[in-house]
Amino acid sequence: MRDTELYRHLLGLVAPWEVSRVELSVDGGRVDVWVEHPKRTRFACPECGTELPVYDHAEERAWRHLDSCAFLTYLHARPPRVECPTHGVRQASLPWAEPMSRFTMLFERLAIDVLKECDVEGASRLLRLSWDEAWHLMDRAVARGLAAKPHVVPAKIGVDEKAAGRGQDYITVVSNLETGCVEYLADERRQASLDGFFEKFSAEERKGIEAVAMDMWDPYINSTRDHLDKADDKIVFDRYHLMKYMTGAVDTVRKQENRALAAGGDKSLTGTKYLWLYSEENLPERHRDRFASLRGGDLKTARAWAIKESLRHLWSYKRRGWGEKHWKRWYFWATHSRLQPVIDAARTLKRHEAGLMSYFAHRVSNAGAEGLNSRIQAIRVSARGYRNREHFKTAIWFHLGGLQLYPATP
Ligand SMILES: [Zn+2]
């Protein structure tokens, strides 16, 4: 078999395209393949499909293709142009590459598979691409996926903010709590950041949104109220975020009490910070005895801790009625504890009571997307070199968007 014929098969070229020349550079570790079409071939206008004679050819271009046995392989051709009476002079579409790509579709598919398994640095090493080329491939894959993403209203969503870089740089992430996929990304964590998600849908479509899990964050609350009917029945404050308020209150009580005790020479609370922050069942075995004696003592911190643990049980009730009873008893207890940080935390929760109780209607939390959170975190960690927020967003879409990333191959 002649080398040109061999490459026609390897490249999967179909008529009218043929391999005209193959050059192997052993020293350069590369193979260059030129493809041509016979004279008088007709090509279709890419807009309307009308078959037309060749008008002229664009400059020769090269596309990176799958390696030939570790030899970098490039496809070369002069793309034919047609002159359509309706659409003017246009470049005919090529069967091996998407418009504007520097890679063949088969190479893009391989690159997407490798990028899925590695970080960008690893993938560019394996694929022998530059950093920018790897990003170019990822951007294209995401753009392709977003263009093909079906327009479907998710019924249960989680809204979360994520630190994107150093300091106060955030992005807003909307996830589908049922599929675990990212539905929407926006810069910042403002009201407008979330507005953009709701405004992708008509008012009629937005009726399909049943529940919105989020932190107690006013911009998100306001945006949801602006766009959904009966928003307060649909907003569910994330239980982990609510618990953070109580855990913070316990810690403040401990700090104050420790200071007071230490002034009198009593060091029993020193070095106990983390013991009080664990959920009861997660306390490591080695700390159990010490913690039991601290808990049993007459410490304010122990009382604050007991109130925190009691709040945690709220989410274990099956029925809203029981949950409400527990909440009322708990609120009375917390606000009569004479522990100011606990009272403050309880009042904050009280102001957001509707979003606390709506849990019993929807039973969602961003923890449903917990897997998603840790994966976004992992992307961020492996993204030390992402250099900017756009790359971070591209990587989230690429890995977590549930998108159809591949180019269609003939
Ligand atoms: Zn046309």
Q: How far is the CA of 90 from the centre of ligand 1 (A)?
A: 8
Q: How far is the CA of 93 from the centre of ligand 1 (A)?
A: 12
Q: How far is the CA of 8 from the centre of ligand 1 (A)?
A: 29
Q: How far is the CA of 339 from the centre of ligand 1 (A)?
A: 76
Burial 198-232 (b: 16+ CB within 10 A, else e): beebeeeeeeebbbbbbbbbebbbebbeebbeebe
- Do 159 and 194 meet the contact criterion of CB atoms below 8 Å apart? yes
Q: How far is the CA of 78 from the centre of ligand 1 (A)?
A: 20
Is the four-CA dihedral 18, 23, 26, 29 of positive or negative sign? negative
Q: How far is the CA of 51 from the centre of ligand 1 (A)?
A: 9
- Do 123 and 175 meet the contact criterion of CB atoms below 8 Å apart? no
Indicate the pLDDT class of residue 151, thresholds 50, 70 and 90: very high
Mean pLDDT of all residues belonging to the chain: 92
> What single-letter DSSP state applies at residue 271?
T
Give the Å distances, CA to CA, from 226 to 165, 199, 206, 218.
29, 11, 11, 12
End-to-end CA distance of the chain: 24
Q: What per-residue confidence (pLDDT) applies to 258?
A: 95
Q: How far is the CA of 89 from the centre of ligand 1 (A)?
A: 9
- Interstrand relation of 71-77 and 61-68 (parallel, antiparallel or unpaired): antiparallel
**Cα–Cα–Cα angle for 80, 82, 87, rounded to 5 degrees:** 135
More confident residue, 370 or 28: 28
Q: How far is the CA of 37 from the centre of ligand 1 (A)?
A: 21
Name residues with Cβ closer than 5 Å to ligand 1, which is an ion: 45, 47-48, 84, 86-87
> What is the spatial order of strands in the sheet that 30-36 belongs to?
18-25, 30-36, 71-77, 61-68
Q: How far is the CA of 11 from the centre of ligand 1 (A)?
A: 28
SS3 371: helix
Average pLDDT over residues 359-378: 81
73-102 pLDDT per residue, tens? 999 999 999 999 999 999 999 999 998 899
- Interstrand relation of 71-77 and 30-36 (parallel, antiparallel or unpaired): parallel
Q: CA–CA separation, 394 vs 138, rounded Å?
A: 7
Q: How far is the CA of 103 from the centre of ligand 1 (A)?
A: 26
184-220 pLDDT per residue, tens? 999 999 999 999 999 999 999 999 999 999 999 999 9
Q: What per-residue confidence (pLDDT) applies to 410?
A: 58
Q: How far is the CA of 88 from the centre of ligand 1 (A)?
A: 7
Q: How far is the CA of 161 from the centre of ligand 1 (A)?
A: 46
Cα Rg, the chain, nearest whole Å:
30
- Stated pTM of the model: 0.86
Average pLDDT over residues 154-160: 96
SS3 309: helix
pLDDT at 55 over 80: yes
pLDDT at 369 over 60: no
Site of tokens 């020349």 = 21
Residue type present at position 146: L
Q: CA–CA separation, 309 vs 277, rounded Å?
A: 10
222-235 pLDDT per residue, tens? 999 999 999 999 99
Q: How far is the CA of 58 from the centre of ligand 1 (A)?
A: 18
Q: How far is the CA of 45 from the centre of ligand 1 (A)?
A: 5
SS3 183: strand
Q: How far is the CA of 123 from the centre of ligand 1 (A)?
A: 39
pLDDT at 334 over 60: yes
> What is the spatial order of strands in the sheet that 51-57 belongs to?
42-44, 51-57, 80-84, 88-91
Average pLDDT over residues 371-396: 81
Which long-range contacts does 324-330 make (Cβ < 8 Å, 24+ apart)? 324/357, 327/353, 327/356, 327/357
Least confident range from 71-80, 150-159, 160-169, 257-266: namely: 160-169
Q: How far is the CA of 97 from the centre of ligand 1 (A)?
A: 20
- Do 370 and 151 meet the contact criterion of CB atoms below 8 Å apart? no
- For 188, counting Cβ atoms within 10 Å of its Cβ (0-12 exposed, 13-18 middle, 19+ buried), the class is middle
Encoding tokens for residue 172?
A: 């807003």
Average pLDDT over residues 92-118: 93
- Do 159 and 214 meet the contact criterion of CB atoms below 8 Å apart? yes
Q: How far is the CA of 130 from the centre of ligand 1 (A)?
A: 36
What is the percentage of the chain residues whose pLDDT exceeds 90? 77
Q: What per-residue confidence (pLDDT) applies to 387?
A: 64
What is the percentage of the chain residues whose pLDDT exceeds 70? 97
| DSSP string computed for 197-252 | HHTTS-HHHHTT--EEEE-S-HHHHHHHHHHSTTHHHHEEE-HHHHHHHHHHHHHH
Site of tokens 């849908």 = 201
